[in-house]
Amino acid sequence: MSASENKQLLRTAFDAWGTGDIRPLIAAMADDVTWTVGGHTSWSGSFRGKDSVRRDLLAKLGEQFDGTYTSTASRFVAEDDVVVVETRGSVATKAGARYDNQYCFVVRLEGGRIREITEYLDTQLVAEVLPDLAR
């Protein structure tokens, strides 16, 4: 796929996530996708495989939230097989804190499937608001 096609695929997925529907993003992932969360928190590290991403990252994050998490994209930059997406997440936690983080996702695609996601975010907010992730 071309850079513009990759960009459109992610724009469609993130438009849905902006309304709280992450299913198109998950559907675009290769079965052996790797999602790496940057930083040095208990949530940091790599989640390998679509099942691990769903179970060990997204589901455990979802357990912390009181309501629907949204991630609204503001910018897409594409070159070759890489698309960079800037987003802002928004949700309250069950503990009553706001988890409104800013992200930069660097996404590598291959054959119309997401192969790698590298997530950069405010790790101080993660440390302050989210409980430690037990792995």
Per residue in 38-97, pLDDT (tens digit) is: 999 999 999 999 999 999 999 999 999 999 999 999 999 999 999 999 999 999 999 999
Mean pLDDT of 13-27: 97
Percent of the chain whose predicted confidence (pLDDT) is above 90: 96
- Quick one: pLDDT at residue 131? 81
- Quick one: pLDDT at residue 135? 56
- Quick one: pLDDT at residue 132? 81
Residue 72: strand, helix, or coil: strand
Percent of the chain whose predicted confidence (pLDDT) is above 70: 98
- Quick one: pLDDT at residue 134? 57
- The pTM for the full model equals 0.94
- Quick one: pLDDT at residue 87? 98
Whose CA is closest to 123, among 107, 104, 101, 98? 101
Distance CA 80, CA 48 (A): 23
Cβ neighbours for 30, distance < 8 A, ≥ 6 positions apart: 50, 110, 113, 114, 115
